[in-house]
Amino acid sequence: MIYTITFNPSLDYIMQVPDFKEGETNRSVKEDMYPGGKGFNVSTILQRLGYQNTALGFIAGFTGQQIKKELAQRGFICDLCELEDGMTRINIKMKGDKETEINGNGPFISQKKLDELISKIDTLKKGDTLILAGSIPSSLPDDIYEKIMDRLKDKEIQILVDATKQLLLNVLPYKPFLIKPNHRELEEIFQTEINNQKELISYAKKLQEQGAMNVLVSQGKDGALLIASDQKVYYCPGAKGTLINSVGSGDSMVAGFLAGYLKHHDYSEALRLGSACGGATAFSKDLAHKETIDNIYQQLKTEVIQ
């Protein structure tokens, strides 16, 4: 079974504000609302690719119930811990000449509820896959990813991590199967400017040397690189299309990579499907559907560049 964890979900309220003026009353021309959270996004794409999975995480209040209702329609299993107080945060995303986001803080998660989640994680067994993705709420210890990976280290569970900065660096000694920094995040990690593909590969290899088995580097329209455990470097060019929605594109890439690897056990095909999923979501109003993914998949071809 594949499991995802979303520690800090949201109800994303998306407003189209073509001519936003700071300090004035603005009116949107269209609104949409979706469940937000990197783990939920990964679960959704996996399900649309035909891979049953279970979403773990925390929800609270009326916003949490709305998320639960909407996720149920997506077809995967939701085994969420419901908090007694507060409400799942609302993230406001204004789209106009520029994209502006205001993200909520999220509810307090008690030790009792954290223990409840840990008890669910303890049921994972040999051969299962776990995706740890996204930020950690301020009420949880900042080493929670490490604690989970340490807890599972002897169970032969495949773990993928999509996180940033120190949160990502701290899990590397536990040898995650995959990590997915993007170009900008690599620059933040190493506090440097990366100017070309050669430098990008060099810094990604440093993360592999620190423990990651595979390093997937997303570059948006410029494609994606995979520094793989077979000691090869794979490249897939960016899909061609009109950018509509960048939210969830990276999560879609993680889901597609995993689905491709599980199906073919081939890194080239995993990168190809991951790139197709990332591009398909970028060119869709919300998370991509399989028909769009399949169309873009046919456009792409990966190559070994080292």
Q: Exposed, middle or buried, 90 (CB in 10 Å: 0-12/13-18/19+)? A: middle
In angstroms, what is the C-alpha Rg of the chain?
19
pLDDT of residue 135: 86
Residues counted in the chain = 306
Q: pLDDT tens-digit profile of 146-174?
A: 999 999 998 999 999 998 888 889 999 99
Three-state secondary structure string covering the chain: CEEEEECCCEEEEEEECCCCCCCCCCCCCEEEEEEECHHHHHHHHHHHCCCCEEEEEEEEHHHHHHHHHHHHCCCCEEEEEEECCCCCEEEEEEECCCEEEECCCCCCCCHHHHHHHHHHHCCCCCCCEEEEECCCCCCCCCCHHHHHHHHHCCCCCEEEEECCHHHHHCCHHHCCCEECCEHHHHHHHHCCCCCCHHHHHHHHHHHHHCCCCEEEEECHHHCEEEECCCCCEEEECCCCCCCCCCCCHHHHHHHHHHHHHHHHCCHHHHHHHHHHHHHHHHCCCCCCCHHHHHHHHHHCCCEECC
Which has the closest alpha carbon to 71: 40, 92, 45, 39? 40
pLDDT (0 to 100) of residue 134: 87
Q: Enter the pTM of the model.
A: 0.92
Predicted confidence at residue 246, as pLDDT, reads 80
Q: What is residue 265's predicted lDDT score, i.e. its pLDDT? A: 93
Tokens (6 digits) for 140: 């949880």
In degrees and rounded to multiples of 5, residue 11 shows phi and psi of -105, 110
Question: What's the pLDDT band for 211 if we cut at 50, 70, 90?
Answer: very high
Closest CA to 97 of 17, 24, 32, 27: 17
pLDDT digits (tens, 9 = 90+) for 257-275: 999 999 999 999 999 999 9
Give the CB-side neighbour count of residue 274, counting CA atoms within 13 A. Answer: 33
| Active-site option among 32, 85, 115, 251 | 251
pLDDT grade, residue 247 (50/70/90)?
confident
Walk me through the domains of the chain, giving residue ranges and CATH numbers.
1-176 (3.40.1190.20), 181-306 (3.40.1190.20)
The neighbour count for residue 82, using CB atoms within 10 Å, is: 14
Whether 286 is catalytic is no
Instruction: Give me the chain's average pLDDT, please.
Output: 92
Q: Which tokens is 110 given?
A: 């008690």
